[in-house]
């Protein structure tokens, strides 16, 4: 149970960071492309499509039971944090390049711009679901609980971003907070991966120890039941 609470806690932080990015990135992109129905549709579509593609990719990767899904989750969070830390600078450069382009090329550039981080974000849920299903064999409970926890983190982030974080730290400070959360989640997920690996190695070693002990006991029993040879004088 303690291991699952650990997973729930890091996924709540992951959801918080993801929604904080979404709020800041949308504001940043609106500042570049303006706030109108075209830009709003373009940005929201790019976000949702990227998350959907990431969910499919993460689900496909997590199907193999031999893959270390916690380690993959840790690497995904690290990648999100690295992109997030540099995201506003990247947006400004791309904004200067695409300024004056028509709607279709602008949409394609914006989509490709947010594709990598949103695909990574979308892959986190299936990766953690795969980890929990391997432990408790309950798909429905794993999906429902993780989705609840992640959505709860997103709800906290949406309120905190508007009421506190953006006002105090601005856009730059806000993405730094989100990136720090990603790096923390990545580290904690790696620790959870190492713990799970050690527990698995211990479990695999137990049958070997049991077989060795059983063999020693059998040999001792055989020796005890074998009569000693009498010397012939």
Tell me whether residue 114 is in a domain. yes
Q: Per-residue pLDDT tens for 202-218?
A: 766 665 544 555 555 55
Tell me whether residue 59 is in a domain. yes
Residue 224 CB-density burial (10 A; 0-12 exposed, 13-18 middle, 19+ buried): exposed
pLDDT of residue 1: 58
Tell me whether residue 209 is in a domain. no
Tally of structural domains, the chain: 1
pLDDT of residue 108: 81
pLDDT of residue 32: 76
Tell me whether residue 71 is in a domain. yes
Tokens of 56: 């499919």
Return mean pLDDT, the chain. Answer: 82
Tell me whether residue 105 is in a domain. yes
Closest C-alpha to 94, from 82, 106, 83: 106
Backbone CA torsion sign across 195, 201, 204, 209: negative
Q: Per-residue pLDDT tens for 46-67?
A: 888 888 999 999 989 988 888 8
* Residue pair 58/122 in contact by the 8 Å Cβ criterion: yes
Q: Per-residue pLDDT tens for 92-150?
A: 888 888 777 777 777 788 778 888 899 999 999 999 888 888 877 778 888 888 889 98
Tell me whether residue 168 is in a domain. yes
pTM over 0.85: no
Domain ranges, residue 99? 2-197
Instruction: Give the distance, in angstroms, between the CA of residue 187 and the centroid of all CA atoms in the same chain.
Output: 11
Residue 51, domain CATH: 1.20.1250.20
Tell me whether residue 96 is in a domain. yes
pLDDT of residue 40: 76
Kindly state the average pLDDT of the residues 27-34. 80
Q: What are phi and psi of 100, to 5 degrees?
A: 95, -5
- pLDDT-derived band of residue 233, with 50, 70 and 90 as boundaries? very low
What is the C-alpha separation between 204 and 1, in angstroms, rounded? 21
Q: Per-residue pLDDT tens for 153-203?
A: 999 998 998 889 988 999 999 999 999 999 999 999 999 888 877 766 676
Tokens of 25: 């990135």
pLDDT of residue 30: 81
What is the C-alpha separation between 4 and 12, in angstroms, rounded? 12
DSSP symbol at 67: S
Tokens of 64: 């193999």
Residue with tokens 């303006």: 34
Res 3 pLDDT > 70:
no
Tell me whether residue 53 is in a domain. yes
- pLDDT-derived band of residue 42, with 50, 70 and 90 as boundaries? confident
What is the C-alpha separation between 154 and 20, in angstroms, rounded? 8
């Amino acid at each position: 149970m303690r291991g699952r609470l650990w997973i729930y806690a890091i996924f709540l932080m992951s959801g918080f960071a993801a929604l904080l990015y979404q709020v800041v990135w949308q504001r940043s992109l609106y500042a570049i492309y303006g706030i109108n129905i075209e830009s709003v549709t373009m940005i929201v579509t790019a976000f949702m499509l990227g998350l959907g593609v990431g969910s499919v990719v993460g689900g496909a990767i997590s199907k193999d039971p031999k893959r270390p899904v916690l380690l993959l989750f840790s690497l995904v969070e690290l990648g999100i944090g690295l992109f997030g830390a540099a995201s506003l600078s990247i947006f400004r450069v791309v904004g200067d390049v695409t300024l004056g382009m028509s709607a279709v090329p602008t949409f394609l550039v914006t989509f490709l711009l947010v594709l990598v981080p949103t695909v990574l974000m979308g892959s986190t849920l299936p990766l953690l679901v795969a980890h929990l299903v391997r432990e408790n064999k309950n798909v429905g409970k794993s999906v429902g609980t993780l989705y609840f926890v992640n959505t709860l983190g997103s709800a906290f982030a949406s309120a905190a971003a508007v009421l506190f974080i953006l006002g105090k730290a601005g856009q730059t400070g806000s993405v730094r907070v989100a990136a720090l959360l990603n790096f923390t989640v990545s580290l904690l997920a790696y620790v959870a991966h190492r713990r799970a690996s050690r527990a698995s190695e211990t479990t695999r070693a137990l049958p070997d120890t049991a077989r060795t002990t059983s063999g020693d006991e059998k040999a001792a029993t055989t020796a005890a039941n074998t009569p000693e040879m009498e010397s012939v004088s």
